[in-house]
Structure 1
Amino acid sequence: MTTAFTPTPSAMGLPTLPDGWPIGSYDTYEQAQRAVDHLADNEFPVQDVTIVGVEPMVVERVAARLTWSRVLRSGALSGAWFGLFVGLLLSLFSPGAGIAAILIGLASGVVFGVAASAARYGATRGQRDFVSHSQLVARRYDVLSKPRNAEQGRDMLAKLSMGF
């Protein structure tokens, strides 16, 4: 049985390859974004445009060295926030709990935060003594357009690169 609506892979949320013709290629995402913004400002049908990162790579930038003191301090702070939150909730919804619930929640949060952080860090046995942030980047960024508007888009981006 066929239905009136047959979903496409992209409509179902599945990964699909981009389609369209290249109208510009840029070294950074910021440049590609600026190009598409230029197209939008000049009333180009940007719903037909796709920015494609070519040759993707994961870049991990090391932010700091990880030490026991940093791990324990971080665990204490995050545990304190959570404990304070739980203590505040208990004091609000328990009649007569008062400030004791807040202080108990805070102290418990610090203890459990330090213990959890120490256990996680100790389990690594010094194999990862640094903090880092990962980023997905591409070697270059291509701007594609549907064929029906590709020539116009290419001309508009050529004018942008020449400074017109």
Structure 2
Amino acid sequence: MIKTRFLSNLLLSFIWLAVTGTFSFENFVFGFLLSFILMWLISTNRREDSYFKRGPKTIGFIFFFLYELVKANIQVAYEVITPSHLMSPGIIKIPLTAKTDLEITLLANLITLTPGTLSLDVSDDRKVLYVHAMHVRDKDKFIEDIKNGFERRLLEILR
């Protein structure tokens, strides 16, 4: 059902591009959002359709990730520019709520894409992710940030 809704949304977006005659990324995004809203309005069971729940969560996750990416880049750039050594590196053992290979892989890759952190390994029983971080001042807060940030939001989209 989700794939059908998404493909319908894409089709309506391309129809929007053809009707307006303006083939730009901004117009495509506008058409995609417009068709999403229209599909939501004409849907009979909005509350039960997971496509309409996952769409806004996915967009929210993208903005959350971009925020974390910019924040980490600024932190790493500051560390490189300043002469003082303020790093407190460490390897952290993060217990996983994610169970499937897809969930674990996406979480590990998102952590690795964020500057200053690197996913090192997953335990054999797939219950723990080992992460190296440049700035670990409070281990429990770091684990909580990963669990309540990346992992929780990712699982809301995938499940």
> TM (normalized to structure 1)?
0.23
Q: Which has the larger radius of gyration?
A: 1
Q: Quick check: which one's helix share is greater?
A: 2
Higher-RCO chain (CA-CA 8 Å, sequence separation at least 6): 1
> TM (normalized to structure 2)?
0.24
Q: Quick check: which one's strand share is greater?
A: 1
